[in-house]
Amino acid sequence: MGGLMGCTHPVLGRPVMLGASVTCGAGAGGALTVDAGVAYSAVVKARHAVAVNCADEGVFMDPLASLHEQAEMAAAHDPTIVIAVDWLFWPVHQSMSSTLAPEERSATRLKSVDAALVELDRFECAVVVGDVPHMKGAAGGVLREAHDPGEGVRAEANARLAAWSAARPNRFVLPIAMIVDAVNTGAPLDIAGFHYGAGECARFVQRDGLHVTSEALALIVCASIDLLEHAGVVEPGLRETDLAHIAVLIQREALAAKDRARPGLLEAFSLSSMYDRCRSELEANDEAGAARTLERLLNRLESFDRNPRGDGDHAVGIGLSLLGLATIGDEFSMIREVFTKHWKRLEPGALADHPNPWRFELWLEYSDQAKRGVEEQTVDALAALRADRGAWQDPFGAMIWGAARFLADERSLARCFPDAHEAYGYAHTLATRDAEWAQKDVARGVYAQLVRARAGWEFLRYVQSRTQAGLPDVTCAFLERARADGFGDAIDAAERENENENENKNKRRLR
């Protein structure tokens, strides 16, 4: 139904989604991205265009600037309906310095609420806005103490939203707070014709306590259309009412959205051109120009659901030789700032239950590029996730292993993989690849020895990391297992290389 076949519905026909990571569907669809637009197409039976999702996962970095940009972008699409589920969340929960007086922090948050609502006044169409919930399940995780507005500010923000809606036609308040209260308390919930028994609403929220599941997104869209039905804005019967059928439709719509987001060969050439331009501007000492080009490049990369150089093409990593930018040196601080900004923007989605693999890989890469404390924060976040959620799932474990070997310091690998048995599987996979490459005709002589040593380093690096991290020593058992699996020569080569390196270091000290 998400096409332009004939006339679209006068109200539901041109939907636009605004907001933050919930609207973006962070972690909601597992291997498939399920955002509010996908949920809309699965729920709404009326003829409509593909939903335009202008939401931004990085709203928390600068709420008012992001919301302004989203509203401007949305207005250009001339929508017939706007759904803004988490529009007010970050204006209320924006991080505030503890040096500010409490009343100043509260006033700033409420002023931001007023400004966010003004942004919506540009739309003459129906606008559905979610109220502000108490996301206590995310406290101490994604939401820190600096984000907590307090119950008084939340209540006042919702009062201002209600007054704003009551004073204007075609403005509707979506009871997100009521849904979240049912999650928090385990109470039953009746909404949009659906009944959930005691404790059943717990499945609406992911383990991080902040992001929602695909079922919750579908329910939110159903509740939005239900508001319009009760107000007489749309006729009844234009939405699905069977949750099981909606779940099937969500999968279909998510696949269709993935196909629409598939980058083509021309996209790859365009991105490569931007990359080349960025390098040229750096060589010409035009750092500001390079930063602007890099900003456009990263924005485009993040718009894809997959690697623009092909699925499963891990050999190209980020796909556009972004690794080359790691060699630019610390003197280009503006470039580091761009990578840091985009790392922060992707962080909420990366820490969700089921991140988009492509954007998760970008998040790890940005961390490596940004340096300056960002690597440490990334490792801290990954170690906390591993402690909270257990062993890594494919394909994320392999990505994290590849990144953690070089992020921050020597402790990182063991901190992200504290279980030696789990770690052995990743070390074995990469060591096998290196050992096979060392046997190829193209890998001869000294180069073959280096590749063989690299296979051994997969095992040595891990046991050394455990020592640095202060974890129990598993060196003997770990390396004996690797030798039994045929990696004895590789480990010996790596140990000789290590000894030579140590000798060279000692010689340099004596000079």
Q: Do 360 and 227 have their domain in common?
A: no
Q: Identify the three-state secondary structure at position 84.
A: strand
Same domain, 280 and 410: yes
State the average pLDDT over residues 154-176: 97
CA distance 151 to 148: 9
Do residues 205 and 276 both lie within one domain?
A: no
323 and 427, same domain (yes or no)? yes
Compute the distance between CA of residue 443 and CA of residue 316 in angstroms, rounded to an integer. Answer: 20
* Domain presence at residue 1: no
What number of other Cβ atoms are within 10 A of residue 124's Cβ?
11
Q: What is the pLDDT of residues 128-149, one digit of tens each?
A: 999 999 988 776 567 777 788 9
Same domain, 247 and 380: no
User: Which residue type is seen at 142?
Assistant: V
User: If we measure between CA atoms, which residue out of 377, 338, 355 comes closest to residue 34?
Assistant: 355
Q: Is residue 315 part of a domain?
A: yes
Residue 10 counted as domain residue: no
Number of domains in the chain: 2
- Helix (H) or strand (E) holding 17, with range, is strand 15-17
For 41-95, how does the pLDDT look when each residue is reduced to its tens digit (9 = 90+)?
999 999 999 999 999 988 998 999 999 999 999 999 999 999 999 999 999 999 8
**Residue at 8 is within a domain:** no
Bridge partner residues of 172 (DSSP): 128
Do residues 192 and 256 share a domain? yes
Residue 375 CA to residue 378 CA, distance in Å, equals 5
Per-residue pLDDT tens for 385-424? 999 999 998 889 999 999 998 898 999 999 999 999 999 9
Residue 451 has pLDDT above 50, yes or no: yes
pLDDT of residue 323 exceeding 60, the answer is no
Q: Quick check: 154 and 92 in contact, CB under 8 A?
A: yes
Domain boundary among 260, 293, 318: 260
Picking from 214, 244, 260, the residue at the C-terminal end of a domain is: 260
The alpha helices in 321-356, defined as continuous H runs, are: 333-350
CATH assignment at residue 239: 3.40.50.1110
389 shares a domain with 319 = yes
Together in a domain, 325 and 200: no
Does residue 388 share a domain with residue 241?
Answer: no
Last residue of a domain, one of 235, 260, 285: 260
Do 289 and 253 reside in the same domain of the chain? no
pLDDT > 70 fraction of the chain, expressed in percent and rounded? 86
Predicted TM-score (pTM) of the model is: 0.77
Q: List the domain range (segments joined by +) for residue 428.
A: 265-510
Q: Which of 246, 204, 244, 255 is nearest to 42 (CA)?
A: 246
Query: Do 162 and 269 belong together in one domain?
Result: no
pLDDT band at 438 (very low <50, low <70, confident <90, very high): low
pLDDT digit string, tens, across residues 311-320: 544 333 444 4
Same domain, 244 and 269: no
